[in-house]
Amino acid sequence: MLKYVDTDIVFQEIPDEVTLAVNLSGCPCRCPGCHSKHLWSDIGKPIDAECIDRLLRPCLSSITCLALMGGDAHPDEVDSLLLHIRRQYPKLHTAWYSGRSLLSPAVDIAHLDYLKLGPYLAHLGPLNNARTNQRFYKIDNRQMLDITHRFRRTPATTNK
């Protein structure tokens, strides 16, 4: 059963989006150096379409995207939630942060606007590190366009 621990409105997880991030528990990936080890446990409240509706109601006018953070133990349930969002909130973008290296066959890419794939490997760093193994994709017409570079900050230029 898919469960969520908490939510937050975030501005950096998805480029150019104001995102309601939903942290899902029961992560089977257990990446060394993980910054969210509390999400390894089977904790939190069950999440389904009705719960998504309750979570969205108070912030729908303030966000442009909903991101499911985790859920790799139940990709079929993740896909079901993504489909619900697509059908009920057609203007809202969808995203999934997966710790797997490949998209689960249980998830239909047509239900996504954004996708992060890859385990966290401390020696390679997160998405904003040029050496990262993780990849961030914008989905366009069922095509995965790698936009990982959008997470890298360029140094500010100085006037001389």
Per-residue pLDDT of the chain (160 residues; tens, 9 = 90+): 999 999 999 999 999 999 999 999 999 999 888 888 899 999 999 999 999 999 999 999 999 999 999 999 999 999 999 999 999 999 999 999 999 999 999 999 999 999 999 999 999 999 999 999 999 999 999 999 999 999 997 655 555 4
Q: Tell me what pLDDT residue 35 has.
A: 83
Q: Tell me what pLDDT residue 32 has.
A: 84
For the chain, the DSSP string reads: --EEEEEEEESSSSTT--EEEEEE---S---TT-S-GGGGSS-SEE--HHHHHHHHTTTTTT-SEEEEE--TT-HHHHHHHHHHHHHH-TTSEEEEE-SSSS--TTS-GGG-SEEEE----TTT-STTSTT-S-EEEEEETTEEEE-GGGGPPPPPP---
Q: Tell me what pLDDT residue 157 has.
A: 52
